[in-house]
Structure 1
Amino acid sequence: MRNVHSPFGFAALAALALSSTACSGSQPASQPSTAQAAQHNQSDVDFVAAMAQHHQQALDLAELVPDRSQNDEVKALAARIRDEQAPEIDQFRALEKEFGASTPASTPMPDASPGAMAGMDMGGAAGMVPENDVEQLRNLSGLKFDTRWIGLMAEHHDGAVKMAQNEIAKGQSPEAKRIAQNIVAAQTAEVAELGALLQQISAEK
């Protein structure tokens, strides 16, 4: 068996999974109440604006999978990510409206590596995949696509976990903090799943 060399290997994926501690189990999605939204601070505003952009990029990455991957498990994971994160974007937009702040969907967010931003104090979204990496991914297919997609999605998830942990620590809105807890739990688990999937793909080669 020959290992597949990935820019984001097993050790890095394992480190991401271990560095992100799940705060709570997932809870049913709900739209924020006016009373809940009234209780918020700047950390909440920054979190929902950046996370809406971050989730949108996750959907864009997931949409690349059906036409490029030949792996059923990669396809299933991409579909699950899409189904989980699309409703949360609606929640973020609703919270933005309640908070009296709005970030247009077309507004670009600065790129950042997972370790570059621990939270939202400086603005932007942690873990965003640079456009040149997205372009390279669009030109891949099969095993090369799967390997690269897993690595980029794991980095992207780690950025979301860091932002969510920052919101839990510094935010004030009960609804935003609840969503943040769900993100930590769901995406920490998915980072571990991505690592296991990369290992499986490499072992089968």
Structure 2
Amino acid sequence: MSSIKRAVRCPLNRRLAAVGVIASGALLLSACGSDDGMSGEHHGGGTAPSASKEAGAHPAPGAFNGADVTFAQGMIPHHQQAVEMAELADGRASDARIKSLAAAIEKAQDPEIRTMRSWLKAWGKPESPSHGMPGMHHGSGGMDTTDGMAGMMSEKDMTELKAAKGTDFDKKFAQMMIGHHNGAVTMAKDEQRNGRNATAKKLAGNVIKNQTAEVDAMNKILDRL
């Protein structure tokens, strides 16, 4: 009987020993796996900033120069005045085409203001220059200029536009916006000649294309008013 018990115990002991070896091996592998897992997580953490950086990509990637900065710093207030002029059409304009052009100007230039502000922030440059703006001394369409920027309306111009209504407003708006747009085109051409940043130069190209087309449309409006 005792020999049978020993015979039973022996295989059982061997099985238990084998299980113990397997368990030890599993623990060892688990420990190695944990090390690799931690290492992989560390590498993964290293790639996270790249993904994060890509998600918040630079608004104007690549090199830039002083002409790019000057273009953004000048075009922001230039666009702001165009938007202010466009907003005056509500309740003053009588011509349907003037109303639609004013709405298009506001819709296009407001987002461009935000875009150029994001460039300056990314470039570490202020929104307003601390000195005069070179290359922006050209007047357009016989209009007064403000701060040396091409095509900017004077306070007198803006006061007259605010006071006008109906066909009088339509004519003044078209005449002033033609001068204003021509000034913007001048500034955009300066950027395309002298700028370095591809994103800024692309926006300058859009300004030239869109505002030249709007000038043509406003000249046609003036011909029939």
TM-score, shorter chain, exceeding 0.5? yes
Answering whether residue 78 of structure 2 is matched by residue 54 of structure 1, we say yes
- Alignment RMSD, CA only? 2.7
CA distance in 1, matches of 2:63, 2:84: 32
Greater gyration radius: 2
CA distance in 2, matches of 1:140, 1:111: 28
CA distance in 2, matches of 1:84, 1:184: 13
Answering whether residue 212 of structure 2 is matched by residue 188 of structure 1, we say yes
Please state how far the C-alpha of 1:37 moved relative to its aligned partner. Answer: 3.7
1:131-182, Cα deviation, whole Å (9 max, x unpaired): 1110011111111111111000000000000000000000001110000000
Structure 2 counterpart SS, 1:101: coil
* TM-score normalised by length of structure 1: 0.73
Which of the residues 93, 108, 112 maps onto 1:84? 108
Amino acid at match of 1:79: A
CA distance in 2, matches of 1:58, 1:131: 13
Please show how residues 1-20 of structure 1 align to structure 2 within 5 Å: none
Is the CA contact 1:50–1:124 (under 8 Å) kept in the aligned structure 2?
A: no
Q: Structure 1 residues 193 and 112 mapped into 2: Cα distance closer, same or farther (>3 Å)?
A: same
Is the CA contact 2:82–2:106 (under 8 Å) kept in the aligned structure 1?
A: yes
Please state how far the C-alpha of 1:38 moved relative to its aligned partner. Answer: 4.4
Is the CA contact 2:59–2:122 (under 8 Å) kept in the aligned structure 1?
A: no
Please state how far the C-alpha of 1:126 moved relative to its aligned partner. Answer: 1.1
Amino acid at match of 2:171: T
Q: 1:140 maps to what in 2?
A: 164
Q: Where does the alignment leave 5 or more consecutive residues of structure 2 unmatched?
A: 1-55
Answering whether residue 139 of structure 2 is matched by residue 113 of structure 1, we say yes
Q: 1:169 maps to what in 2?
A: 193
Q: 1:29 maps to what in 2?
A: none
Q: 2:58 maps to what in 1?
A: 34
Q: 1:101 maps to what in 2?
A: 125
1:58-117, Cα deviation, whole Å (9 max, x unpaired): 00000000111111111111001111111111111011111211225xxxx99862279x
Amino acid at match of 1:186: N
Structure 2 counterpart SS, 1:49: helix
Q: 2:99 maps to what in 1?
A: 75
Is the CA contact 1:111–1:127 (under 8 Å) kept in the aligned structure 2?
A: no
CA distance in 2, matches of 1:148, 1:35: 36
CA distance in 2, matches of 1:200, 1:115: 19
CA distance in 2, matches of 1:184, 1:191: 10
Higher relative contact order structure (alpha carbons within 8 Å, sequence separation ≥ 6) = 1
Q: Where does the alignment leave 5 or more consecutive residues of structure 1 unmatched?
A: 1-31, 117-122
Larger relative helix fraction: 2
* TM-score normalised by length of structure 2: 0.66
Q: 1:66 maps to what in 2?
A: 90
